[in-house]
């Protein structure tokens, strides 16, 4: 827990222009919660650091404090890599969906399995997705992009610099995940068998291993 060292600015000096937080004032998890509440959009860790005048490690600590403080509350901290936001708790999902009249747009089996591949292997190229599915996935990936469930995450440093895909906040919200660590675990038995296979094929050119990019 970050403790406020000097919360009172008793000097009466005018604040440094551009400083959102007076120097020497430590930001509390309470303040961070208020900031994310007002921001109404995901903030990056860098943005939070700039606004709160904190280094990266302090931002991570503060976010950890806030995440713990919000457990069991109606509003939770949702962490998607570099970016965080406040969102309603999964337990309240049905009620809020009723209030906002959210449409439960269906996803096809192809879309769901593609989404699963992207969620567990992100960042992943379309080639990486197609190697798992064994079929052209251009249309499915584009439809997921259109639904904003996946987002481009830069490009792989491989020939052709293919686009890397990852899941979005929209994905986490739709599936009620406050962190990617909440994703349901993959089949352990199969994972063991795949690890065996990957070990056997280490020298070979088998493409069934846990290759991440192409």
Buried b (16+ CB within 10 A) or exposed e, 97-116: eeeeeeeeeebeeebebbbe
By beta-carbon proximity to another protein, the closer residue of 59 and 174 is 174
The minimum distance between CB 170 and another protein, in angstroms, equals 10
C-beta pairs of 4-7 under 8 Å, 24+ apart in sequence:
4/28
The minimum distance between CB 164 and another protein, in angstroms, equals 18
Enumerate binding residues for another protein (CB under 8 A). 15, 37-41, 76, 78, 85-91, 93-94, 96-97, 100, 102, 104, 107-110, 112-113, 115-117, 119-120, 132-137, 139-140, 169, 172-178, 183-184, 186-187, 189-191, 193-194, 197-198, 200-201, 203-209
By beta-carbon proximity to another protein, the closer residue of 39 and 69 is 39
The minimum distance between CB 203 and another protein, in angstroms, equals 7
Strands 163-167 and 150-155: antiparallel
By beta-carbon proximity to another protein, the closer residue of 59 and 124 is 124
By beta-carbon proximity to another protein, the closer residue of 61 and 213 is 213
By beta-carbon proximity to another protein, the closer residue of 128 and 164 is 128
Strands 83-88 and 150-155: unpaired
CA distance 48 to 51: 5
209, 194 Cβ separation under 8 angstroms: yes
The minimum distance between CB 173 and another protein, in angstroms, equals 4
The minimum distance between CB 1 and another protein, in angstroms, equals 26
Q: How far is CA 24 from the centre of its chain?
A: 31
Q: How far is CA 209 from the centre of its chain?
A: 25
What's phi and psi for 75, nearest 5 deg? -120, 135
Residue with tokens 């584009």: 142
């Amino acid at each position: 827990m970050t403790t406020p060292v000097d919360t009172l600015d008793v000097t009466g000096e005018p604040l440094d222009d551009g400083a959102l937080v007076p120097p020497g004032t430590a930001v509390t998890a309470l303040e961070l919660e208020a900031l994310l509440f007002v921001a109404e959009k995901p903030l990056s860790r860098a943005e939070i650091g700039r606004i709160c005048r904190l280094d990266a490690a302090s931002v991570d600590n503060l976010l950890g404090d806030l995440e713990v403080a919000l457990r069991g509350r109606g509003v939770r901290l949702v962490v998607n890599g570099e970016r965080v936001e406040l969102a309603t708790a999964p337990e309240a999902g049905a009620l809020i969906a009723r209030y906002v009249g959210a449409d439960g747009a269906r996803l096809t089996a192809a879309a769901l399995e593609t989404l699963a591949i992207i969620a567990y292997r992100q960042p992943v190229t379309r080639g990486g997705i197609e190697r798992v599915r064994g079929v052209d996935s251009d249309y499915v990936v584009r439809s997921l992009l259109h639904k904003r469930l996946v987002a481009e995450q830069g490009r792989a440093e491989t020939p052709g610099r293919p686009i890397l895909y990852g899941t979005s906040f929209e994905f986490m919200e739709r599936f009620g995940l406050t962190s990617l660590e909440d994703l349901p675990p993959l089949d352990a038995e199969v994972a063991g068998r795949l690890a065996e296979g990957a070990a056997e094929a280490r020298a070979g050119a088998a493409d069934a291993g846990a290759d991440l990019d192409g």
